[in-house]
Structure 1
Amino acid sequence: MISKQKFTVIGIIVLFISSFLYAQISSQETGSIRGIVKDNEGAPLPGVAITVKGPSLMGQATDVTRENGTFRILLLPPGKYTVTAELPGFKTATLENVEVRLGMTISVNITMSPETLAEEITVVGEAPVVDVKSSKTQQIYKSDLIQNIPIGRSLQSVITLTPGTVSSTNVKGGTAANNTYRIDGLNANDPCQQQLDIPIDFNLFEEVEIVTGGMPAEVGGTSGAYVNVVTKSGGNEFSGMVQSYFINEDLTTIVLPQEELTALGLSKPNAPIYDYDFSGNFGGPIIKDRIWFYLNGRYGADKYNTGFIPFTSPYDGTYYDTFHRKSHNWGAFMKLTFQLSKSVKLALMGNARQTYRNTRASGWNMPFDCHYHDDPWANYAATGVLTWLIDSNTYLEVRGGYTKVDAMLTLVRPELTTVPYMYDYYTGYYFGTGYRPNEWTGRPKKQFSVGLTRFLDNLMGGDHELKVGFEMLFGGDSWAVWKENPIWWPWYNGSPYYYRSLYGTRTWGDGWLGLAVFGTTKEGNMAQGEFFKYGGYLQDSVTFNNRLTVNLGIRFDHVKGNIPEVYKNRTGGDIAYQLGEVFLKPVYGINPYDEIRQEGVDGIIKWFTWDPRIGITYDVFGNGKTALKLHWGKYSDNIYVSIFERVHPLRFHYYYFSWWDDNGNGRPDPLGLDSYAFIPSWGTPTGMLRENWLIGIGEGIKAPYDNQFVIGLDQEIVRDFKIGLSFLYKHKKNIIDDVPYDIETGEYWYNPHESPGNKYWIPFTTTVPAVGDDFPSTTVNMWFLSNDAPRNWIYQVQNVLEAFRKYWAFELSFEKRMSNGWQLGGSVNYSKTWGNIHGGYGDIHATSGAADDANWFVNNGGRTNEDRPIVIKLFGSFNLPLGILGSFYYQYSSGTPWARGVTVVPPSGWAAANNVDVYSTYWVNLELQGTRRYYDWQNLDLRLEKYFIIPNLGRLGVYVDIFNALGHHYIDVDQNPGGTWMPVDNNTSEGTYAISGTYKKITGISGLTRRFQLSVRFSF
């Protein structure tokens, strides 16, 4: 295992070695100014003293022009600057309002005239809107934009402004694990699931850069969006802001009359009873130009109606009424910036957030106490960045940080720990305790990086920006799951007997039960995993004749994952332990419901990746206003704990048993009162034996990766306004998931088209009946599992060769920066996302269901769930008369793709004749995914703000946000007849079809409310 001491020693050694290298981790929260100074006849002027000042900069930055008249100012925080050029015998030239943006190099040209009188020439700098150096596709959102448009107060809401985003985690064909988050230059992905783990307050954002294509080699593990956030740092003047927002029932209107809701069988919509937030920022100098500080605190609380539709539990007659979902949260942030010397700068940041929720229950079908609650979900972070400007051409950066997720998620009512989890497969309702027991998760992460930047001009005909970097990251996850009652008990249409009610027979049992493998205390069942990653890159950005820039880079990463010692106490109740002793231990050598102790393993997964990148950017007319960009790159996925924690023997899972209620009391009882039979085709505890889970990660497993190609053109139309046209193509390969693996032969057997799978999957053809005019009868070829299939098998995590995801998009984007009292942004994205594995949150843990059985191959390869052919976004703000600011945010997207499917039950006679397992029923797509779509979606949010200038104090703003201003609402109806098809034989349309109980049922209405949110903010 990796010790803290070892991690620290490695970090010190790498820092020492790297300080002698021309290496770099590019400054990820700054920009730079490059320029050339000439006389009025066009000759370059050497020896000109360049000075740059601005409120975002401690002190001033200086340089002296070289023989060719060029200069370079590095490590400038985003903001506006004044550039002054001085040379004896020439008039002093000053450029004002030169705007530096995150990750961009600003090019300026200065002309100096011979001095005739002591005078100074001052001009207003023109901020470039086109980046003619970088090959990346990026959007930069400044605080003056995101603070002044009606969006949610979170980083996720900012991400949705980006062209082509389906959600904040699904960006341009990427999966929910493909975004990389950076806060002040430090990685902000949680080590278990790659989600954001540093939730900072919205008011702290200085700038947010979102890169969706053409990422350079310094960016690793990103095939979705690279989200780079710079927080505020204070300044030489005290400044701050106090803000609150508030909404309640009186400020919420329901767009449908109550009588219509009642007629539709719906309860109150998911609307706020109250929702408020208070936050405050304050920053300034402790010592001017030497030490700055910035502080933030926030508190918020809310109470919402839910869309739950009341019902009575068939288990014990409990009436589940409507309920309110409540939460409250607090956060604190501190940042200190030290100018230790003229060339050395240190920034330290700490952030904490805790959120409490009374329940996670949601939807029309989940009662209040059928889920856990947050008590609390907490995030903590501490980071530091040291920057040393060695000379005008070289700088060193060292970064380190620690983050942790600490989440206590316990049952809403602790006394329900003895009650089974129940779900009615016909009505769709949860009851009892729901599917989540008590849980706790802890996700610590340490990181370290170091590097240098070196600029070399006039080398081999070009100006070079050389970059080499090295970084290390240690991440872990501990996931505890516990409850007294481990039973999952499925019902059907109000009956406790699933099989008897659905099939009208007791042949396979009155019903079936799932028995969870977990302990009875937090310490008594904890799945743990950890990984160590180190990587680096070499990159050269070389510009020829100030027109053509070639960006070359290569990145490597090495990752190793470990599983610590395993311990579980005995599972609660009598039934699970008893069935494990009788049915499982004699056959598989383990009772998963008994106490378990096993050794861990070091290096259960390892991979090494090389990712080359090449980009070309050409300044078409040489005026910095038109850039043609080409980029190709390979982007390997990051490893995260949930991928290899999949094989942990204590990972939350079930084993399944047929159940006969011999005593007729309608309740599962121990053996002797009731009868049971194990269902091995649904999973066996073979994989819990240490010798088997050690091979749960396939030999030679490789990192998934994307090949990406981008071509784009950016054009400045007029000052402060640009448009962009681009085409992006992605193809993801080496996709990882779990697949059936025969331990005895070492073979995979999920593919029915090749050996050995074609021996274990028996082909079957059936015609599923029509349902109305929209769903004609459909003949489908599928497979059922043979009784000769391997018995000694596990699900092994491996690259699924047949799995793929592809994406292409044509995109038009535009940006008008704030000037002349207005700003505007937007995009139109026309795309296609297709493949045979989806990319949502549930699909990123190597347990998506892909390649679990042969029927994955039936009608796969269509549009994925994230496919939205047309996505439109438009936003902006405008200064109106009387000191009023107006703004809006409009979104449109195509509907979610879907396809008709059905669960097919093997005919008993045919199954017996063909040696087929009768317990294995399969969901089969009857048509290609994407054959059908749900409704298109659009939304318009508005804001009106009135501001007042208070002399000698600051500015007071009062505004109202109108969310869903046009009242667009969408009826959510289960359009898939789904259900269960029970044919009488092979190659026939005869049989019994039980259509889904939720077919054509209205499950809710989205967009049912129009909300008016009031806010007050005072800034100084």
Structure 2
Amino acid sequence: MRLNLSRVCLCLLLGGVLAAAAIGQAVQTTGRIEGTIKDSTGGVIPGVTVSLASATGTKTAVSGDSGEYSFPFLTPGLYTLKAELESFKTFEQKDITVRLGQTTTIHVVMEPGEINQVITVTGEAPLVDTTTTTVGANLSENLYLNIPVQRNFTALFSMAPGVSDSGALGSYNPSIGGSSGLENNYIVDGVNITNPGYGSVGAYSSIYGSLGSGVTFDFVKEVQVKQGGFEAEYGQSTGGVINVVTKSGTNEFHGGVYFYGQPAGWEARRKEPNIYRQEKHTEFMRTESFDISADLSGYMWKDRFFFYAGFNPQWNTHMTMAPAGLGQWVNPGEGFFERKDTIFSWSTKGNFVPHSNHNIEFSMFADPSRRDGGPNRNMTAEGDDNYSELNYGSFNFIGRYNGVLTNNWFLTASLGRAYNRFEEQITHVDRIGYWDYVNYPSRQLMGGIGFFENNNGENWQFNLKTTVNFNAGGDHTLDFGYMYEDVTYTAVRRYTGPMLANPFGETYGGFFRYRYYPDPDTGENYDWNGDGVISDADALLQQYRGNFNDPNLATTTTYHSFYVQDAWKVTDRITVKAGLRYDYQEMGGGGEEAIVYEFTGNWAPRIGLIYDVFGDGKTKVFGNWGRFYQKIPNDMAVRALSSEVGVTNAWWSVAYDAEGRPMADEVINDQLPGNPAITRTGANPTYIVPDTKTMYQNEFVLGFDHQLDPTLSLGMRYIWREVGRMLEDTGTLTIGQYLEDDTNYTYVIANPSYTSDFVINDTGEVGSDGIGDGFADPKRSYNALEMTLEKRFSQGFQFLANYRLSKLWGNYEGLFRNDNGQDDANITSLYDFRSDAYDGYLYVPGYLNTDRRHILNFNGSYTFSNQLTMGLGFRSTSGAPINRLNAHPAYENAGEIPITPRGSEGRTEWVNAIDVHFGYPISFGDNYRLHFALDIFNLANFKRVIAVNEDYEDAPGVLNVDYLSPGSANNPDTPLTAFQRPFNMRFSLRFEF
């Protein structure tokens, strides 16, 4: 733990002083009810006693001089509001819904009369939140338990407008509002669980992607997807904010035992991409999942201490088979191999309420997981023992205080920790990995598995927020907040195989191509052994990946955020929202020569306007402009601020081990025609151009929300987003200069643009020569029109529907690059060279990879009079743009250089999915219920292509025989990267009390 206690104490002291004069609303885990109390003539009434009752007790407040009242820190759920004053009839309104991160406005009109006379309002609470400019969606358990949806909470994201699949990262890390999948912020019970190394959700590996979050449906109370327009309180995101609150206890005992089963036999036959491609990969036959869940909630001290505890073990099996010639790693009885994951998710929460105005909460959740030893990668042709075992998961906790100090002054403070880890244990770490271009019609992976990475991240988090309401030319809600994060991220990055010595006198590991050397004089394969015949004896090992730094690197980040925001109600209909946020990030590398760099100057203003059109809280027009900064993942600290140096293009003569595997013998570059140069890339560590800043994005939102009837609301909005500055590592040479002479090749970290001048162009040295360096301006522009239609549950019917029409245009996808599958945020290969003729269309704006022109969602359910519930989920998404990508002339990597305009090779197919849910409860008395359910996914058994291989070349001059075949070239061995998952079903049995 690297938590600096002196800093925390200073922050507490500073926050305590500022709390007396400013404020911060705790919207991350709660909602709010507020309003104004008036008499029948429209005059405000001060001094009214207002009480709010729920399953956890009763809170009270007194209306102020302007008749206003407010109840913050409300757990999402149902409430009853009552207002009482002598000489007036008592006002009561029941079944008021409070939603996560939203304000429910209830204006009270009191009539003259006796206090024992009660006027009960039966109408629904307003559906339109006239206090916010945030756009997105709130997803409650009442909806997602009655529709067909997968078990992890990440499956809910796609139900919200503006959310699409992020390409190679899949649905776990979605593209929100045109961003790449590594630009979101994930918060559960106020804990930021975003992976500190990569910016993903939960545990993450650059090989396997996201592998867990610690949260399943049975633990979740509500999910809020914030797409845009959010206040200065929220930052660290140029995508969206996913806000989740887990279940809590009440004054009633509830619990249950639940079983879910998705047998392999309930899945239709998958469409295999190997039928369509020459380079064969692992075949995924089918998947099955089973899990058992149990939970209990209630109280230990009525109205004072509540608890919740849940446990959910899960067993997931992926059944795979190797293509012919790729070893015999199969189950003899079944003909396939089973990749088994065992996950033990659990969650617990306690709430202590010493007084109705004070709440102390403690929450913990985790998902320790294991994947059994086996062929967890794309198997090589080595046989049946090239295995690995995965251990991964997360453990998170937070303690929080929420307090109503006076009717107009609120305070919240929290301290939490998020931890996640990933570890791959490899059976044969001694074998080099290589692509065999000699013995197969197309390349084939051989030897060891090559690159592997283990990592763990720890993030200690402290938050302080305080809020004050006052009147000065109108009602104000003024917020002040401070956040501190202390991150330690450790990565082990290396290659299988022995450590090799290079001509620089350093040792390193690497990845190879087993191939013939192309003679630059003749254009033919070079006769290495000089016998006049080209044969296997002439094959060499070309090492095109390698690094010789310390593979164990511990890096750090210290992050501070301050914000102030005000909601000024100018009139009863007009509200102005203004805020300012400042983010500071100090990042340090690992190793003896590591550096520390401070990213400063991150001022993020937000300004919004809300107009309550008719003054009844049912129709609003709103607009918001804001600037949003990213939080830089620590992968950049590992690879750029530490001692990572690489070697490429070393040619080795071949020796063979006892089993006939090629081994690197000695470097022979100086013995080959053309004398190919070995390239030593990177500095130790990478130089950062002075005054380099972090990436930011500007956003404008214009919207309209209208309540059509007491349970139905319509929303329409326009969203514009554009990257204003990019943070990337860049090279000092053009590709042409590099191919002629790479001796001066150096990486620097900067904010490259058309006006950049930090390179002496002729020599490639770092410095200014008064001439632009030749970089193109980064461009990512997102324009979208959205329409939403939501019906709250009423008379057995509920639904959420939305449609998005959008355009994503530019040359910079963001922190994740789908072209080559690179997840090294801010240090991708995109800007590694200054522009020249070798770039093709690399920097020419076009349709970006995650551009999905049309997305239509419908999710809803209907409960019949006999208690049978039927749910329906429908999603239709237009295709993604297709590119033609050449290999990089310098790096020799596939998937780097577009040689035609982006997206000009067509689009993938429209993808449609129809899912249905059937549920039926059987009650045993008043308190017990057995609930049967069946979920059918992809009812129509669509098997549309969802991605194609866009690599036109495998290596420079080597055409890819599988160009445009189904399946992404970046992760061909991950399930469902080529076709939709076919028809499959899940059954569940839930016993509840």
What's the TM-score, normalizing by structure 2? 0.84
The one-letter amino acid of 2:634's match is V
8 Å CA contact retained: 1:309, 1:322 = no
Per the alignment, residue 832 of structure 2 pairs with 852
Deviation at 1:341, TM superposition (A): 2.9
> Structure 1 residues 247-256 or 878-887, which shifts more?
247-256
Deviation at 1:835, TM superposition (A): 1.4
Per the alignment, residue 748 of structure 2 pairs with 796
Instruction: Give the Cα separation in 1 of the matches to 2:381 and 2:11.
Output: 48
Deviation at 1:506, TM superposition (A): 1.8
CA RMSD in angstroms, aligned pairs only: 3.5
Instruction: Give the Cα separation in 2 of the matches to 1:406 and 1:136.
Output: 33
Per the alignment, residue 337 of structure 1 pairs with 351
**Of the candidates 440, 449, 457, which is equivalent to residue 434 of structure 1?**
449
Pairwise mapping of residues 52-63 of structure 1 onto structure 2 (< 5 A)? 52-55=52-55, 57=56, 59-63=57-61
Instruction: Give the Cα separation in 2 of the matches to 1:154 and 1:103.
Output: 21
8 Å CA contact retained: 2:840, 2:897 = no
Are 1:157 and 2:155 counterparts? Answer: yes
Pairwise mapping of residues 529-540 of structure 1 onto structure 2 (< 5 A)? 529-540=555-566
8 Å CA contact retained: 1:310, 1:322 = no
Per the alignment, residue 475 of structure 2 pairs with 463
Per the alignment, residue 956 of structure 1 pairs with 930
Are 1:405 and 2:420 counterparts? Answer: yes
Per the alignment, residue 1019 of structure 1 pairs with 992
Per the alignment, residue 545 of structure 1 pairs with 571
Instruction: Give the Cα separation in 2 of the matches to 1:833 and 1:474.
Output: 35
SS at structure 2 position matched to 1:537: strand
Deviation at 1:128, TM superposition (A): 1.1
Deviation at 1:966, TM superposition (A): 0.6
Deviation at 1:37, TM superposition (A): 2.8
SS at structure 2 position matched to 1:339: strand
Are 1:807 and 2:779 counterparts? Answer: no
8 Å CA contact retained: 2:86, 2:114 = no
**Identical columns (%):** 22
Deviation at 1:683, TM superposition (A): 7.2
After superposition, the Cα gap between the structure-2 partners of 1:84 and 1:5, relative to the gap in structure 1 and judged at 3 Å, is closer
After superposition, the Cα gap between the structure-2 partners of 1:918 and 1:14, relative to the gap in structure 1 and judged at 3 Å, is closer
Instruction: Give the Cα separation in 1 of the matches to 2:680 and 2:25.
Output: 47
Instruction: Give the Cα separation in 2 of the matches to 1:858 and 1:357.
Output: 41
Per the alignment, residue 89 of structure 1 pairs with 87
8 Å CA contact retained: 1:496, 1:666 = no
The one-letter amino acid of 1:869's match is R
8 Å CA contact retained: 2:641, 2:686 = no
The one-letter amino acid of 2:479's match is K
Deviation at 1:888, TM superposition (A): 1.5
Are 1:667 and 2:696 counterparts? Answer: no
Per the alignment, residue 185 of structure 1 pairs with 190
Deviations 1:276-333 (A, max 9, x none): 011112111010111111101110112122375333479xxxxxx8532211110222
Deviation at 1:862, TM superposition (A): 1.0
Per the alignment, residue 876 of structure 1 pairs with 860
- How many residue pairs get matched? 903
SS at structure 1 position matched to 2:143: helix
Instruction: Give the Cα separation in 1 of the matches to 2:96 and 2:48.
Output: 19
**Of the candidates 377, 383, 399, which is equivalent to residue 384 of structure 1?**
399
After superposition, the Cα gap between the structure-2 partners of 1:504 and 1:209, relative to the gap in structure 1 and judged at 3 Å, is same
The one-letter amino acid of 2:707's match is E
Instruction: Give the Cα separation in 2 of the matches to 1:979 and 1:96.
Output: 66
Per the alignment, residue 622 of structure 2 pairs with 629
> Structure 1 residues 708-717 or 728-737, which shifts more?
728-737
Per the alignment, residue 238 of structure 2 pairs with 223
Instruction: Give the Cα separation in 2 of the matches to 1:3 and 1:264.
Output: 52
Deviation at 1:164, TM superposition (A): 2.1
Per the alignment, residue 146 of structure 2 pairs with 148
Pairwise mapping of residues 838-849 of structure 1 onto structure 2 (< 5 A)? 838-839=813-814, 840=816, 842-849=822-829
The runs of 5 or more residues in structure 2 that have no matched partner are 166-172, 203-212, 329-334, 500-508, 529-537, 754-776, 968-976
Deviation at 1:19, TM superposition (A): 4.2
Deviation at 1:157, TM superposition (A): 0.9
Deviation at 1:450, TM superposition (A): 1.0
After superposition, the Cα gap between the structure-2 partners of 1:427 and 1:649, relative to the gap in structure 1 and judged at 3 Å, is farther
Are 1:614 and 2:627 counterparts? Answer: no
Instruction: Give the Cα separation in 1 of the matches to 2:807 and 2:783.
Output: 6
The one-letter amino acid of 1:548's match is I
Instruction: Give the Cα separation in 2 of the matches to 1:448 and 1:868.
Output: 38
8 Å CA contact retained: 1:737, 1:847 = yes
**Of the candidates 259, 266, 271, which is equivalent to residue 251 of structure 1?**
266
SS at structure 2 position matched to 1:306: strand
Pairwise mapping of residues 243-322 of structure 1 onto structure 2 (< 5 A)? 243-254=258-269, 270-272=284-286, 274-306=288-320, 308-312=322-326, 322=336
Per the alignment, residue 111 of structure 1 pairs with 109
The one-letter amino acid of 1:249's match is A
**Of the candidates 493, 498, 508, which is equivalent to residue 485 of structure 1?**
498
Instruction: Give the Cα separation in 1 of the matches to 2:714 and 2:385.
Output: 50
Per the alignment, residue 48 of structure 2 pairs with 48
Instruction: Give the Cα separation in 2 of the matches to 1:176 and 1:264.
Output: 28
The one-letter amino acid of 1:415's match is H
Deviation at 1:452, TM superposition (A): 1.0
Instruction: Give the Cα separation in 1 of the matches to 2:947 and 2:193.
Output: 38
After superposition, the Cα gap between the structure-2 partners of 1:374 and 1:873, relative to the gap in structure 1 and judged at 3 Å, is farther
Deviation at 1:970, TM superposition (A): 2.3
**Of the candidates 681, 697, 705, which is equivalent to residue 706 of structure 1?**
697
Deviation at 1:678, TM superposition (A): 13
SS at structure 1 position matched to 2:430: helix
SS at structure 2 position matched to 1:739: strand
Per the alignment, residue 33 of structure 2 pairs with 33
Instruction: Give the Cα separation in 2 of the matches to 1:652 and 1:323.
Output: 38
What's the TM-score, normalizing by structure 1? 0.82
After superposition, the Cα gap between the structure-2 partners of 1:54 and 1:652, relative to the gap in structure 1 and judged at 3 Å, is farther
Instruction: Give the Cα separation in 1 of the matches to 2:430 and 2:927.
Output: 57
Per the alignment, residue 651 of structure 2 pairs with 658
After superposition, the Cα gap between the structure-2 partners of 1:976 and 1:406, relative to the gap in structure 1 and judged at 3 Å, is closer
Instruction: Give the Cα separation in 2 of the matches to 1:714 and 1:249.
Output: 44
8 Å CA contact retained: 1:200, 1:351 = yes
Per the alignment, residue 132 of structure 1 pairs with 130
> Structure 1 residues 237-246 or 506-515, which shifts more?
506-515
8 Å CA contact retained: 1:660, 1:675 = no
After superposition, the Cα gap between the structure-2 partners of 1:385 and 1:369, relative to the gap in structure 1 and judged at 3 Å, is farther
Deviations 1:703-760 (A, max 9, x none): 111110110111111111111111111111321222113xxxxxxx34xxxxxxxxx7
8 Å CA contact retained: 2:222, 2:246 = yes
After superposition, the Cα gap between the structure-2 partners of 1:861 and 1:1008, relative to the gap in structure 1 and judged at 3 Å, is same
Instruction: Give the Cα separation in 2 of the matches to 1:371 and 1:466.
Output: 60
Instruction: Give the Cα separation in 1 of the matches to 2:455 and 2:422.
Output: 5
SS at structure 2 position matched to 1:300: strand
Pairwise mapping of residues 6-21 of structure 1 onto structure 2 (< 5 A)? 6-21=6-21
Per the alignment, residue 569 of structure 1 pairs with none
Deviation at 1:813, TM superposition (A): 1.1
Pairwise mapping of residues 339-738 of structure 1 onto structure 2 (< 5 A)? 339-358=353-372, 361=376, 373-411=388-426, 414-422=427-435, 424=437, 427-437=442-452, 439-457=453-471, 459-460=472-473, 462-482=474-494, 483-485=496-498, 488=510, 490-491=512-513, 496-497=515-516, 499=518, 504-506=524-526, 510-514=539-543, 525-564=551-590, 566=591, 598-601=592-595, 603-651=596-644, 653-661=646-654, 667-671=662-666, 684-685=679-680, 687=682, 692-738=683-729
**Of the candidates 926, 940, 958, which is equivalent to residue 914 of structure 2?**
940
The runs of 5 or more residues in structure 1 that have no matched partner are 315-320, 567-597, 742-748, 751-759, 763-784, 906-916, 983-992
Per the alignment, residue 998 of structure 1 pairs with 962
Deviation at 1:980, TM superposition (A): 7.3
8 Å CA contact retained: 2:646, 2:680 = no
Per the alignment, residue 771 of structure 2 pairs with none
The one-letter amino acid of 1:513's match is Q
Deviation at 1:880, TM superposition (A): 2.6
Deviations 1:737-793 (A, max 9, x none): 22113xxxxxxx34xxxxxxxxx737xxxxxxxxxxxxxxxxxxxxxx452x45133
8 Å CA contact retained: 2:594, 2:685 = no
After superposition, the Cα gap between the structure-2 partners of 1:201 and 1:609, relative to the gap in structure 1 and judged at 3 Å, is same
Are 1:865 and 2:849 counterparts? Answer: yes
Instruction: Give the Cα separation in 2 of the matches to 1:9 and 1:371.
Output: 51
Are 1:204 and 2:219 counterparts? Answer: yes
SS at structure 2 position matched to 1:645: helix
8 Å CA contact retained: 1:443, 1:478 = yes
